[in-house]
Structure 1
Amino acid sequence: MDEYFQALADAHRRRLLVALLEHNPQRDSIVVPEDVHEGEKSLEALQIEFYHVHLPQLEEAGFILWNRDTHEVMRGPRFDEIRPLLELLHNHADELPDDWL
C-alpha cells in the first residue's frame, strides 16, 4: 500500500495516472507532459521534472511504460493494481480539493 501512496503523493503523477484510466492501453498513449500540463509550471520545467523524477518512479514501480524517445506513456504491467485508487480519485474529483487532480 505504501508504494501506491508514494506513486500518488504528487499531483503531477496523480494526473498522469488518472489520465491513463481513460485511454485504451492497446491504442492510446499520453504525451508527457503536454497532455497533463495544468499551467502551474512552465511546460519546460515540468518536462524536466517528469523526465528526471516522476516517469522513472512510475516506470520502476511498473505502473507505466515510458517511451523516452517519443515521450509517450502507456499503462504498465502493474497499472491494474493501482486502478481502484485512481478510480476513487477520479469518481470523487468534485469532492476533493482543487489541487488533488
Structure 2
Amino acid sequence: MTQQRYQNGKQVIRRWDEVFKAVTAESRRQLIISLADANPDETVPLPESAVNPNVPRDPAVLRQKLYHCHLPMLSDYGFITWDTEPLVAGRGPRFEEVAVVFESLQSNATDVPDPLVFGCQRLEQERQERFDDPVAE
C-alpha cells in the first residue's frame, strides 16, 4: 500500500510539473487557450493561434520556435497533436490536464490579483462580465 501511494505521488508530481512547464511560455499559453475555444475535434492554424493579440510577434520567428520547441514539447506531454502542412494543432489525449488551469483562472477572474489581469484580454473580459452580472458570482 505504501509503495503504491509513493508511485502515485511521483506520477502526480510529474504530471503537475509537465502542466506548469507547458504554461511557462506565452505562445504555448495562447495555443492552449485557442484550442480550448475551438471545438474538441477541430485544429487551429499556426502561428496565428499562438499569438498574444496585445503583443504581436514576427510570424516567421514564432513559426520557427513553435516548430522546433513549443509544439514538440506539448506533443510529447500529450497536450496537443500537430501537423506541418499546413501547420496546425489539435487537442491531445491529455489536453484537459493543461486546459483546466486556464478554466480555473477564468472562473476565478475576480480573485486574480490585478497585475495578472490587466493586459490579459481574456481575464479582463471575464472579470468585467462578472462585475456586470452579479448573479454570475
With the length of structure 1 as denominator, give the TM-score of the two structures: 0.84
Q: What is the aligned-residue RMSD (CA, Å)?
A: 2.4
Cα pair 1:18 1:87 within 8 Å, conserved: no
The structure that has the greater radius of gyration is: 2
Percent of residue pairs identical: 32
Where structure 2 has 5 or more consecutive residues not aligned to the other structure, the ranges are 1-15, 123-137
Name the structure with the higher helix share: 2
Q: Determine which structure has greater relative contact order: mean sequence separation of CA pairs < 8 Å that are 6+ residues apart, divided by chain length.
A: 1
Look up the equivalent residue of 1:25 and give its one-letter code.
P
Provide Cα deviations, 1:52-78, integer angstroms capped at 9, x if missing partner.
110000001000010122111110000
- Report what 2:45 is aligned to: 31
Q: Among residues 28, 45, 69, which one is paired with 1:13 in the alignment?
A: 28
Is the partner of 1:74 in helix, strand or coil? strand
Where structure 1 has 5 or more consecutive residues not aligned to the other structure, the ranges are none
- Report what 1:75 is aligned to: 91
Cα pair 1:65 1:74 within 8 Å, conserved: yes
Look up the equivalent residue of 2:19 and give its one-letter code.
Y
